[in-house]
Structure 1
Amino acid sequence: MFEQELLVGCHAKIPGVGTSYGYVPSLGAGIAFCVLFGISMILHTAQMCWKRTWWTSVFSVGCIVEIIGWAGRTWSSQCPYNSTAFLMQISTLIIAPTFFTAGIYVLLGEFIRRLGRESSILKPSLYLWIFVTCDIVSLAVQAIGGGMASGQATKVHGNTAPGTHVMVAGIVFQLFSITIFVFLAVDFISRTMRRRLLQQLTGSVIPLLGAMILSVLCIYARSIYRTIELLQGWTGYLITHESYFVGLDGAMMVVAVAVFNVLHPGWLLPSDKQTNALKREVTGDEVEMNPASASQ
């Protein structure tokens, strides 16, 4: 009964009484990540309005979700037993990367739309529909598992195993879909290199591609970490040591979204006019190199 009462209100850490985290979350980390995601959100919102790239709003929304999650961890640093704060952070920090991946899917679609249908196996719109659908499925599974597991984690002697297994299934599915996306992105780069599309664009598109690759790698690393973390269980080594969460979730997500503040698509994506001219130029070069086929 005593432990149940701790789940409501604000109580400082009591020696010998464990928390749902396995530790007391760091106040400094909570504040730092709220500030970092807040700055990125403000910049993304300003950049979106300035360049009228409305689809980049997903980065702002993702930052807001991250802020809510880290606010929950900041709250937990002062009230480590509070169940509302715990549920608040676990539910939001699970879903936040989904908004970042959605932005990346749209970005690759924009590249393909500008450089031509022949630069990709799939149509540009299919990237959004297929992979966002996969993210939604993954999100739903993780949310269900997270609700089951966190509900048990805030109970005395609760069984978190069933919910944890469901969460792992959702994250593994997300990892699988991101892996497929990575293969398609590599194919896109290979095709555009062969057709000399990327080489003849202005230099700005190469850093933007680099930003996309870096963001995907950060999200990928985070997904691998969360998978291993949950496989170890709620009393495992990774989940009970905050430094891993700070470095492999928080820091990875800051880099994944902030890189697009520095290399924003609104400034670096080539215009339709530029890419149309480039495609005509490339086509002309191909005709000059193959005069026999052009005369047929």
Structure 2
Amino acid sequence: MTWLYLSLGSALSFASLTLLSRVVSVKSKNPRALSIVFNLIAFLMALMIFFITGANKNFSLPTKFEPYLYLSIACLFYGLYERIRFYVAQVLEASLVSIINNISLAVAFFTAAFIYSEVMTINKIGGFLLILTALFLVSVNKVSKINRRGILLAILANVFLGIGWALDKKGVIFFSPETYNVLVWFFPLFVLYFPYLKFSDIKKEIKISSWKIALLSLFNVIGYFIQLKAQALADATRVIPIVQTSTLLTVIFGIFILKEKDNLFKKIFAGIIAIGGVFLLR
């Protein structure tokens, strides 16, 4: 049952991450600069976990080319995701973002089916359609002030994230969870920084966000790390659906904590549909 507790802990961490991302992003002057600060702190935290857990004592790297190919592709897509994640959090409510985030799981499943030759079942197709239905519900509203560009970028961000997730399965096979955790926080920094960003913009984001950005990084690092640990103990098809219950947690917390009460029942209904789709994808 350890995998279950780890998965639930990961869900709570990701729900907290989405909520706080909204709070921090709204005040940001440069979301990409904010993401660089966030990822740099996350990398340092992942490095601390690496040494605290004693992973450095048994440290080793693969000798074949294949692991580094998968790692490079995963880091590229994680970097692309990080470039736009805080812009999305800035223009869309946390409760909406959490529902749209479920598309990353559908992308991960279909990408994994292609990479690992996994069987595509009726349940998985049905789950994907339910997630699209939830996405449609939160995207279409005649009187809504929803940022359409934000919706499109949120979908794109989750496509990038889903591909990265699909490649994580290879990562924990070739690398230890602790080592892989460090690498996927470090290398996307190069994608984030390219081609150039003023250091003054980065300093401004540190000043604006202060301790909140460190807490934000902590939620993401812990949530992602214990998800990797859970996947090392149980199948990803058991772990990820539990982790994705963060959607419903975020919708509920967003309503009560951030007062995101527009289209209240539609959000709750869409959240439940999305969770149903996630469980069909198992």
Fold match by TM threshold 0.5:
no
Higher relative contact order (CA closer than 8 Å, sequence separation 6+): 2
With structure 1 as the length reference, what TM-score do the two structures score?
Answer: 0.28
With structure 2 as the length reference, what TM-score do the two structures score?
Answer: 0.29
